[in-house]
């Protein structure tokens, strides 16, 4: 990945200009999805198609194989975390999110997902930490701000 471009886009996420933030977010996601090329991206897209059709087992199999073949492909881990989250397999989704963050510490999507998993399990302090970490990268992300407030209220 082009680290200079990523660094510039990460700065753009902090811009007061919504258009700059949206463009940066879109470009970052594109870079992450394309990190391992067209074939890996097509596998992710196929897994998402299968999941949308309700074929969880086939979608999982594709992502498991992709993670095994390309263990340094953060987005493969992230997509599997999303699949595990939507199927309520929160502990395994947390493990995948943590691997994404290990591979790509600025992956705001995985940090957000980590927070969602912890919140789903009632681990509100851990959820707040994850949402705050995501906000460090994307300070204008209203959803993370809202979720911090919601989790804080649940702690009271």
Q: Examine the pLDDT at 107 and tell me if it is beyond 80.
A: yes
**CATH number for 17:** 1.25.40.10
Mean pLDDT over the full length of the chain: 97
CA distances from 62 to 6, 76, 79, 86, 130 (A): 28, 10, 11, 16, 28
Give CA–CA dist 76/81, Å, rounded.
9
Number of domains comprising the chain? 1
Give CA–CA dist 140/143, Å, rounded.
9
Cα 102 to the chain's mean position, in Å? 12
The pLDDT tens digits for 122-142 are 999 999 999 999 999 999 999
The residue segments making up the domain with residue 86 are 3-155
Nearest-5° Cα angle at 49, 45 to 54: 145
């Amino acid at each position: 990945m082009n680290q200079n471009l990523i660094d510039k886009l990460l700065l753009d996420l902090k811009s007061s200009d919504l258009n700059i933030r949206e463009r940066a977010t879109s470009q970052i996601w594109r870079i992450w999805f394309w990190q391992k090329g067209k074939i890996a991206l097509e596998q992710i897209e196929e897994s998402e198609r299968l999941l949308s059709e309700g074929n969880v087992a086939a979608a999982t199999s594709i992502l498991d194989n992709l993670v095994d073949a390309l263990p340094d492909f953060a987005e493969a881990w992230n997509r599997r975390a999303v699949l595990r989250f939507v199927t309520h397999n929160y502990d395994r989704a947390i493990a995948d999110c943590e691997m994404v963050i290990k591979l790509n510490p600025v992956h705001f999507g995985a940090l957000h997902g980590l927070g969602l998993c912890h919140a789903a399990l009632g681990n509100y302090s851990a959820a707040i930490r994850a949402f705050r970490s995501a906000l460090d990268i994307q300070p204008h992300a209203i959803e993370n701000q809202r979720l911090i407030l919601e989790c804080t209220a649940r702690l009271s």
